[in-house]
Every structure is written in structure tokens, then in C-alpha cells.
């Protein structure tokens, strides 16, 4: 049987790309196709390397697990949330392998169709149901600065603009400093920091065990949250919002 290297590279890239995308959707994360493509590219190169006689040892279980872990690191990162997604991706990869065994193997189109079916199943039937949260991509523009973040879709976040009643996006202190230059110390003293940059506002909020608090806020002309785009009020939290799950903002309504 003749096996063509270019077919192996293309097929493995396609399969890994679909499974990486499906994992993101299954866990309630943004799809991030660019990072998934880079991870799939590594998987494609690994599969191609396994075809060379001197590199056949790479086909062992140990190296397969290493390759899956490396693809997960590239596509998802190195935090705790990324580890969970990497484990789910590995499970889907093994599930696809088991499916192919049940089907008695298969050619290019059979394997590709099976991978696409798994990806579609993750996106349509189980999208976001395995993960306990839904994350959406955020893009903020302030002057000549553009910041890309990940926001947690939090239905309990009821913070609204007191003037318009529209939902307010909350970002952490690190994102606020990158976007506006406001320091954590300035965010902790919102009233005293009002004149630091033009357009700053005070936004009242309430939290568990705390009432009558104030956050600094700024209306940005260009905000993108998921598929929603427009102007929006952004509030700056003086502390972090998440230490483990990889989000830097909270949104309750603008998606």
C-alpha cells in the first residue's frame, strides 16, 4: 500500500484542527482558530515524522501523549483551564481512533468526515455544556491602543450604566493599566483618581459584604464582545478577576 506524505500531513492537520476547535467549543471557550491551527500544524509535522524509518520510535504511546500535550499547550496555553482542555482533546483523539477501529480503518474522506462529525457534535449538541463557564473574546480600542481579552459570560453580573441602564463590561487591573495606564493604586482610590485621564466616570456597585463601592469607568467608542460590536462603558476593577481560568473580564449582557 502506497502512503503519500502530503496526504498524511494534510489529513492529520485537518483532524487535529477540528478536534482542537471542538474541544474549545465543548468547554465553553472561544474557538481561537489561529492557535488551534498552530497546534494542528505541530500534530501534522509529528505524524509526518513518524513515517520516516529512523523516526518510527516516535509512534510509541509515550511520544503520542507528548505530542498531544504539546498541541494542547500551543492551542490552549499553560494554565489550569488549558490543562482541562488538553485532557478533553486527548480524549476526543482517542475516541476518534476507536471509532476508526470500529469502522475498520478508512481513507482520507472517512477519517476527515469522522473528525468533522465529532467537531460538529461538540459545537452543536454539547457546546459549552462540559465546561462550567462560557468565555467570549473581547477587543477594546482606546486611542491607538488595542487590547484583546477573554471575558467570562456571567449572568450574575448585573452592573449597569446608571445613566443609560446598559450593561457594563468589567476588566481587571492589569488590563486597565495596559489600556489606559491607570495603576492598581489609582483604581483603589477612584474618587481621587477622577482627573487622571479625560472621560473617567464613577460607577457605583455592590458586592457580597460590601455596598456603596465605586469603580472607575470609561466609555470606549469601539468595543467588541463576542459577535457584538459598538460603544460601551468599561469599568476597571482594582483587583484580578480570575487566577486560574484565563479570563480578564466579566460581561453580563453585551454578547
Contact 20, 14 (CB under 8 A): no
Instruction: Give the per-residue pLDDT at 42.
Output: 93
Res 208 pLDDT > 50: no
Res 225 pLDDT > 60: yes
Res 76 pLDDT > 50: yes
CB contact set of 41 (below 8 Å; sequence gap of 6+): 13
Instruction: Give the per-residue pLDDT at 110.
Output: 60
Res 118 pLDDT > 70: no
Across 211-236, average pLDDT: 86
Q: What is the CA radius of gyration of the chain?
A: 22
Contact 254, 248 (CB under 8 A): no
Instruction: Give the per-residue pLDDT at 130.
Output: 47
pLDDT greater at residue 113 or residue 50:
50
Contact 233, 169 (CB under 8 A): yes
Res 20 pLDDT > 80: yes
DSSP 54: G
Segment 183-203, tens digit of pLDDT: 989 998 988 888 888 889 888
Going by pLDDT thresholds of 50, 70 and 90, the confidence category of residue 25 is confident
Which backbone phi and psi does 83 adopt, to 5 degrees? -65, -40
Element (H, E) at 200: strand 200-207
Mean of per-residue pLDDT scores for the chain? 79
CB 163: neighbour CB atoms within 10 A?
10
Alpha carbon 116 to its chain centroid, in Å, reads 20
Segment 146-175, tens digit of pLDDT: 999 888 877 666 788 777 778 889 999 999
Q: How far apart are CA 123 and CA 101, in angstroms?
A: 24
Res 100 pLDDT > 80: no
Across 175-179, average pLDDT: 91
Between strands 200-207 and 135-142, the pairing is unpaired
Res 105 pLDDT > 50: yes
Alpha carbon 253 to its chain centroid, in Å, reads 19
Res 128 pLDDT > 70: no
User: Which of 185, 173, 181, 177 has its CA nearest to residue 197?
Assistant: 181
State which of 58-67, 73-82, 130-139 shows the largest mean pLDDT.
58-67
**What would the grid cell of residue 136 be?**
467570549
Percent share of the chain, pLDDT over 70: 78
CA torsion, ordered 201, 207, 212, 214, to nearest 10 deg: -20
Contact 140, 149 (CB under 8 A): yes
Amino acid at each position: 500500500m502506497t502512503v503519500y506524505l502530503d496526504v498524511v500531513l494534510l489529513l492529520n492537520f485537518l483532524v487535529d484542527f477540528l478536534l482542537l476547535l471542538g474541544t474549545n467549543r465543548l468547554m465553553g471557550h472561544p474557538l481561537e482558530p489561529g492557535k488551534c491551527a498552530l497546534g494542528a500544524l505541530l500534530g501534522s509535522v509529528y505524524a509526518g515524522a513518524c513515517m520516516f524509518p529512523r523516526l518510527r520510535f516516535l509512534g510509541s504511546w509515550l511520544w503520542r501523549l507528548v505530542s498531544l500535550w504539546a498541541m494542547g499547550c500551543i492551542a490552549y496555553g499553560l494554565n489550569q483551564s488549558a490543562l482541562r482542555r488538553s485532557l478533553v482533546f486527548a480524549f476526543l483523539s482517542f475516541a476518534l481512533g476507536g471509532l476508526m477501529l470500529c469502522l475498520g480503518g478508512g481513507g482520507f474522506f472517512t477519517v476527515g468526515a469522522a473528525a468533522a462529525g465529532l467537531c460538529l457534535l461538540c459545537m452543536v449538541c454539547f457546546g459549552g455544556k462540559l465546561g462550567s463557564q462560557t468565555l467570549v473574546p473581547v477587543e477594546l480600542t482606546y486611542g491607538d491602543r488595542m487590547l484583546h481579552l477573554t471575558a467570562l459570560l456571567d449572568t450574575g453580573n448585573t452592573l449597569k450604566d446608571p445613566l443609560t441602564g446598559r450593561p457594563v463590561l468589567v476588566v481587571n487591573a492589569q488590563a486597565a493599566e495596559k489600556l489606559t495606564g491607570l495603576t492598581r493604586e489609582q483604581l483603589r482610590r477612584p474618587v481621587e483618581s477622577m482627573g487622571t485621564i479625560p472621560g473617567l466616570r464613577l460607577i457605583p456597585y455592590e458586592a457580597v459584604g460590601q455596598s456603596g463601592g465605586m469603580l472607575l469607568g470609561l466609555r470606549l467608542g469601539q468595543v467588541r464582545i463576542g459577535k457584538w460590536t459598538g460603544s460601551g462603558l468599561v469599568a476597571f476593577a482594582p483587583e484580578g478577576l480570575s487566577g486560574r481560568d484565563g479570563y480578564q473580564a466579566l460581561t453580563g449582557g453585551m454578547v
